[in-house]
Amino acid sequence: MMLKNKRRNVSLLFLTAISLFLTQPMAWAAGSISGDVAKQALNIPAIVIFILFVLVTLVITYWAARKTSTTKEFYTAGGGIPAWQNGVAISGDFLSAATLLGITSSIYVMGVDGLAIIAGTLGAWPVVLFLIAERLRNLGRFTFIDVVSFRLSASKIRPLAAVSSLFVLVFYLIAQLVGAGKLVQLLFGLDYLVAIISVSLLMVVYVAFGGMLAATWVQFIKSVLLVAGGTILALLLLIQFDFDFGKIFTSAVETHPKGGAIVEVGGWLKDPLSVISLGMTLLFGFIGLPHILMRLFTVKDAAASRKSAFYAISIIGYFQLLIILIGFGALSLIMFNGNYHDAAGDMIGGNNMAVLHVSHLLGGDILLGFIAAVTFATILAVVSGLTISAAATIAHDLYAGTFAKGKVTEKKEMIVSKIAVVGTGVLAIIMGVVFEHQNVVFVSNLAMAIAASANAPVLIMAMFWGGLTTRGAIAGIVLGLASSLLLIVLGPQVMVEVLGMEQAIFPYAYPTVVSVPLAFLSIWYFSISDKSESAAAERLTYQDQFVLSETGIGVQDAVEH
């Protein structure tokens, strides 16, 4: 009976979602957007491709719902995802709309300075591959908080670590949803609020019923489409320049108003501390992202986890190379193309739309429709991964691990998980509306800075330092979270860009140059100064934890105990 009701509920939501999207062409046709934007907004190929993607992923969700009945299946797909498939899904989690739109835009505006973001993100992967992935899988059960609290006081660590993780996840979710709203507003003429509600509804359906299995397949399909679209676009660009990479960069230098300055570093990050701060944000921020780390638990063992990371970095690295070509190619071809600029000379839709405009230039409505639909599918897939991580944090770390002190049935935890998914969807709609006019990059940077300052230091110290104590971990999380938030508020992204002040109190855009060392230092100091009996016991158990993290022998008994 319970299974029958679940199928009926899925079917109802399935039909609701389909009807919502199938009825939108009438709204798009009646939209008030005018001029060139209207021509791009009413893009039938984009509508068709997007509807097909939604239908396929909803069918997958229906299938996955029949295979998802336990917490292990819901959070980690039963730990049975093949390494190669999980690696593709991880790349899908990582390659968000900000990667395709934002990094391309950075290269379009800043030239080689925009490559600093690519270098930073790729630099984080070897650390995860060689130092984090295998040990994390051996120690963890569902979330990275399981690892942090492995030999410490879980009742004290879990609430704080959960709060910092939720900060990261919510701000990332907001950034993706605002991006979705603006993208659809430009391309389809759909009302911003309707776009936010549509994405949130699909997100809830994917996660609440299909769990990690559905989210993994959604990420897998989206990643394949994204890489295929990027490859097609890059090939068309190369054809334009006779497959001569040098011509692309030479043309970009000749086209850009700054000339040769776009291939010189220092236009964006003007001093060494700014470079170091960006690097620390990207490196430690990536290590501390809960929804990425959670995927390392979806495979059967530590070796598969390491392989997943390898497949992911290979795909991500390849796609980032495509982004470099697309960014400089867009700079060469559309910088002064009047079809993609308004009367004031500004790019229609803003600089983030550079990749979509160059798609239209090279492949017409069909290629634009494909890239636009894939971009929107990218947002859907990423928000699904964020939502399931948020649900795990709320239901597993807060409810089951903290409030219920582990004394909870799987059925109750599953119910709380699904309530958390729905609650996250409602919160996403509200916050998406509130942050509609905020800088999406600012919101994403806030998430990365918090992850780098509050999550990564305590995770690294928990796995590699035997002197860590509960008091030290608490101090690191609290000071890392508080300092990163405070310095962002006092920095140029808020005081100058949001509040309109002439100068910020804290001069650097990224707070991690201060907040990350402060977190590590506080973890060290408050741990070594802790002379309590519980601290002594925690230090003694480190060797057992270290052996377990290296070998994985007895890991199932350890996490259940």
Per-residue pLDDT tens for 384-403? 778 888 888 888 778 877 77
The residue behind tokens 């392989």 is: 307
Rounded CA gap, 371 and 366, in Å? Answer: 9
Confidence of residue 505 (pLDDT cuts 50, 70, 90): very high
Cβ density class 379-390: b for 16+ within 10 Å, e for less = bbbbbbbbbbbb
What is the number of alpha carbons within 13 Å of residue 347 lying toward its C-beta? 19
Residue-level pLDDT at 441: 62
The helix (H) or strand (E) run that includes residue 279 is helix 272-287
Residue-level pLDDT at 480: 95
Q: Find the range with the poorest average confidence among 69-78, 119-128, 206-215, 270-279.
A: 69-78
Confidence of residue 186 (pLDDT cuts 50, 70, 90): low
Residues 62-84: what's their mean pLDDT? 76
**Mean pLDDT score of the chain:** 79
Confidence of residue 329 (pLDDT cuts 50, 70, 90): confident
The helix (H) or strand (E) run that includes residue 283 is helix 272-287
Does the pLDDT value for residue 35 go beyond 60?
no
Residue-level pLDDT at 98: 66
Burial of residue 377, with CB atoms counted within 10 A of its CB: 0-12 exposed, 13-18 middle, 19 or more buried: buried
Residues 531-535: what's their mean pLDDT? 90
Q: Find the range with the poorest average confidence among 64-78, 418-432, 480-494.
A: 64-78
Does the pLDDT value for residue 29 go beyond 60?
no
Contacts of 436 (CB under 8 A, 6+ apart): 178, 181, 192
Q: Greater confidence, 27 or 236?
A: 236
Residue-level pLDDT at 33: 32
| Closest among 389, 393, 414 to 159, alpha carbons compared | 393
Name beta bridge partners: 347: 341
Contact 24, 187 (CB under 8 A): no
Amino acid identity of 179? G
Whole-number percent of the chain with pLDDT over 90: 12
Determine what percent of the chain falls in helix, strand and coil, rounding each to the nearest 5. Answer: 80, 0, 20
Contact 483, 516 (CB under 8 A): no
Rounded CA gap, 53 and 30, in Å? Answer: 24
The residue behind tokens 């068309």 is: 236
| Closest among 497, 530, 401, 553 to 71, alpha carbons compared | 401
Q: Find the range with the poorest average confidence among 4-8, 105-109, 483-487, 536-540.
A: 4-8
Q: Greater confidence, 69 or 366?
A: 366
Confidence of residue 15 (pLDDT cuts 50, 70, 90): very low
The residue behind tokens 């990094």 is: 103
CA 268 to chain centroid, in Å, comes to 24
Q: Find the range with the poorest average confidence among 24-38, 245-259, 313-327.
A: 24-38
Confidence of residue 2 (pLDDT cuts 50, 70, 90): very low
Residue-level pLDDT at 97: 67
Does the pLDDT value for residue 345 go beyond 70?
yes
Rounded CA gap, 456 and 20, in Å? Answer: 40
Confidence of residue 469 (pLDDT cuts 50, 70, 90): very high
Residue-level pLDDT at 23: 34
In CATH terms, is domain 10-555 a member of 3.40.50.2300?
no
Q: Which two tokens stand for residue 453?
A: 């300052």
The residue ranges of every structural domain in the chain are: 10-555
CB-CB neighbours of 56 under 10 Å: 14
Does the pLDDT value for residue 483 go beyond 60?
yes
Contact 489, 179 (CB under 8 A): no
Residues 290-299: what's their mean pLDDT? 77
Q: Alpha-carbon Rg of the chain, whole angstroms? A: 23
Rounded CA gap, 536 and 530, in Å? Answer: 8
- Number of helices followed by number of strands (H, E) in the chain: 27, 0
Residue-level pLDDT at 527: 95
Confidence of residue 519 (pLDDT cuts 50, 70, 90): very high
The residue behind tokens 């979705």 is: 180
Rounded CA gap, 243 and 257, in Å? Answer: 25
Q: Hey, which bits of 127-280 come out as E strands?
A: none
Residue-level pLDDT at 42: 57
Using DSSP's 3-state secondary structure scheme, residue 4 falls into helix
Residue-level pLDDT at 368: 83
Rounded CA gap, 371 and 367, in Å? Answer: 6
Using DSSP's 3-state secondary structure scheme, residue 268 falls into coil
Read off the pTM: 0.79
Q: Which two tokens stand for residue 164?
A: 């910092």
